[in-house]
């Protein structure tokens, strides 16, 4: 089980977090997604077959790319 918090500068409201939660939740292997619009962060917990690369690609695809 892996867990990571991503900084997502594009988050502006709870609706953004809901969109991210719904999209990442559809990835096979993602078990939990929690977002904080005030901190502009999303924490994701996953297991195989999900991967960091798949999560990052999905965030980019839905216009909420992670910042590093």
Domain assignment of residue 11, yes or no: yes
Residue 67 lies in a domain: no
Q: What is the pLDDT of residues 48-59, one digit of tens each?
A: 999 999 999 999
- Residue 7 CA, chain-centre distance (Å), reads 9
Domain total of the chain: 1
CATH at residue 42: 3.30.70.100
Which residue segment(s) compose the domain that 51 sits in?
A: 2-61
Strand-pair partners of 5: 43
% of the chain at pLDDT higher than 70: 100
Q: The whole model's pTM is what?
A: 0.93
pLDDT at residue 68 in the model: 77
| 52 belongs to a structural domain | yes
Beta bridge partners of 3: 45
Q: At residue 7, does pLDDT exceed 80?
A: yes
pLDDT in tens, 14-44: 999 999 999 999 999 999 999 999 999 999 9
Q: Residue 44 domain-assigned?
A: yes
């Amino acid at each position: 089980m892996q867990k990571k918090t991503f900084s997502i500068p594009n988050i502006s409201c709870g609706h953004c977090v809901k969109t991210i939660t719904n999209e990442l939740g559809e990835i096979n292997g993602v078990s939990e997604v929690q977002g904080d619009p005030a901190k502009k962060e999303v924490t994701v917990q996953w297991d195989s077959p999900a991967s960091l690369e798949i999560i990052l690609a999905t965030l980019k695809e839905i216009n909420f790319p992670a910042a590093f």
